[in-house]
Amino acid sequence: MTKSSKKTEQDTDVAPEAHQEEAKAAPSVPPRKSEPNVIYIGKKGVMAYVLSAVLQLSQSPFVVIKSRGRAISKAVDVSQVLINRFGEGKFFVKEVNLGTESLQSPEGVPRNVSTIDVVISKKA
């Protein structure tokens, strides 16, 4: 080993403190503001969202699965897997809300995108 690649005790003592100060000084990304008990469907696999919903339902009486556009079919899959395979008769679809959002395309043209909100609740 060369002298420059060796770490001394002095280097290891100073490094953690220096890194902590740098981490505090660095600008942080603001946390994403999301609503409680809401799961937004995106690019992950169906089972990732199902497990997240099971975890939420263990702590609260309901969960809302929100999706829009092409991910709507995945939201339906998540709700059905949750009810039929993981629910064992404990969960049911309380409410389904359909809607449309107007979004700007990259070219600046407004586009309508379909949305779905599936509310899944525990049975009493």
Query: Is residue 113 within 8 Å of 99, Cβ to Cβ?
Result: no
Domain assignment present for residue 42? The answer is yes
The domain that holds 53 is classified in CATH as 3.30.110.20
Domain assignment present for residue 65? The answer is yes
Domain count across the chain: 1
Distances in whole angstroms, Cα of residue 52 to Cα of each of 48, 63, 79, 82, 87: 6, 10, 12, 10, 13
Residue written as tokens 């586009």? 111
Q: List strands edge to edge, sheet with 38-40.
A: 38-40, 62-68, 110-122, 91-104
Which of 94, 97, 67 shows the shortest CA–CA distance to 83? 94
Domain assignment present for residue 8? The answer is no
pLDDT at 22: 46
User: Mean pLDDT throughout 67-92?
Assistant: 94
Domain assignment present for residue 6? The answer is no
User: Mean pLDDT throughout 9-26?
Assistant: 47
Query: Is residue 77 within 8 Å of 46, Cβ to Cβ?
Result: yes
pLDDT at 32: 55
Residue 118: give the domain boundaries.
Answer: 38-122
pLDDT level of residue 106 (50, 70, 90 thresholds): very high
pLDDT at 12: 45
Q: What is the pLDDT of residues 47-71, one digit of tens each?
A: 999 999 999 999 999 999 999 999 9
Domain assignment present for residue 29? The answer is no
Share of residues in the chain with pLDDT > 90 (%): 65
- 3-state SS assignment for residue 90: coil
User: Mean pLDDT throughout 103-122?
Assistant: 94
pLDDT at 19: 47
Domain assignment present for residue 14? The answer is no
User: Mean pLDDT throughout 103-117?
Assistant: 94
Domain assignment present for residue 12? The answer is no
Rounded CA-CA distance 63/120 in Å is: 5
Domain assignment present for residue 71? The answer is yes
The mean predicted confidence, pLDDT, of the chain is 82
